[in-house]
Amino acid sequence: MWATRCIYRSRRQSIHFRTGLHSTVLHKMQKFVNDPKSCCILQALRAVSTYSISPVQNACWRMDIAAAVNGLGNKAIDDNASQTPHDGKHQEMEAKMKHLNLSFAACGFLGIYHLGAASALYRHGKKLLKVVKAFAGASSGSLIATVLLTVPENIEECTKIIYEFAEDTRKLYFGALTPGYDLMAKLRGCIDSILPPNAHEIAENRLFVSVTSAKNGKNHLLSNFASREDLVKVLLASSFIPLYAGISPVEYKGQKWIDGGLTNGLPILSVGRTITVSPFSGRLDICPQDKGRMDVYAKVAKQDLLLSTTNLVRLHQALFPPGQEKMKSLYQEGYDNAIHFLLKENWFE
């Protein structure tokens, strides 16, 4: 246990955290520090507060601290420490973190940001993509997840289609709400032109699409696709377009579905670590890093988003596509943020 190796005796130390511990553990540690016969953590905490650490190290560090506060810190630590049951928890945690998933948030027309991130992952993160077990997404995020999983070589082609799609929408007087403009047919044409014939076979049990039941408003993650047509229907159902344009919900397997972003805008899968991608600033792996005077977050459709003016502007852009130059800027931002993540997590190649 690397953290407990750095324990030394002291009556009292002021401890400051930058990687939040559970409140119960913190309470125990405060009592632990006030005991003159006990010991406190110093060098390990100093290292964590100074340097960024990987999620695996962070998880292991928290378990070490919890073990120390519960009394293991007063015991001698020798070379046999690796044989303790606690080390088994380390191995279990590391194994869990090796099971990686990739999830793209709901974001409407800001899907262009996702395409920038997907392009960076495809070009410089192939080692990461090889070990990703499952892909997930909501609304437009599910479309990008599908492309990255089934036909990543078509990301650039998909980007051109999105630019054209947004340009056509901007030309209309009432945007996507213009009478007579069949937005769903346009979207379906885009999907059909990109996905390969065997897309449903590749996506089976590896792609999880967030949808909302029109009947009871409950969220579902659909991952079984009997045919390519079934996959296309699920992607159309997950899209924000039916709700946005006043179109009837999409029917699939006897049920009617609407935008999954309403109830679960960022699917987190139950097994392993889910790497999250979003064009909104928040507590996410790949996202814009807004800086403000106060870091106040709100959970919106299961996304922890920063409450900021910039995010409000992004919300408007998600519903009404910005100009061509801004779209290109968003694409580049997604690309750069993904590169930063790959470098930070040692996946870049």
For position 109, what pLDDT does the model report? 85
Highest-pLDDT range among 75-89, 123-137, 162-176: 123-137
DSSP class per residue in 254-321: TEEEEEGGGT-SS---SSSEEEEE-SS-BS-SBS-----S---EEEETTEEEE--HHHHHHHHHHHS-
Mean pLDDT confidence for 77-81: 38
pLDDT band at 123 (very low <50, low <70, confident <90, very high): very high
Lowest mean pLDDT among 67-71, 177-181, 234-238, 246-250: 67-71
For position 169, what pLDDT does the model report? 75
Q: Where are the alpha helices (DSSP H) in the chain?
A: 23-33, 43-50, 55-69, 85-98, 111-124, 126-131, 140-150, 155-171, 183-194, 199-203, 228-238, 241-244, 309-319, 324-344
pLDDT tens digits for 244-282?
A: 555 567 888 889 898 888 899 999 999 999 999 999 998
pLDDT band at 91 (very low <50, low <70, confident <90, very high): low
Lowest mean pLDDT among 31-45, 293-307, 318-332: 31-45
Mean pLDDT confidence for 125-154: 96
For position 176, what pLDDT does the model report? 57
User: What's the whole-number average pLDDT of the chain?
Assistant: 76
pLDDT band at 173 (very low <50, low <70, confident <90, very high): low
Highest-pLDDT range among 35-39, 105-109, 276-280, 310-314: 276-280
Which are the catalytic amino acids? 139, 259
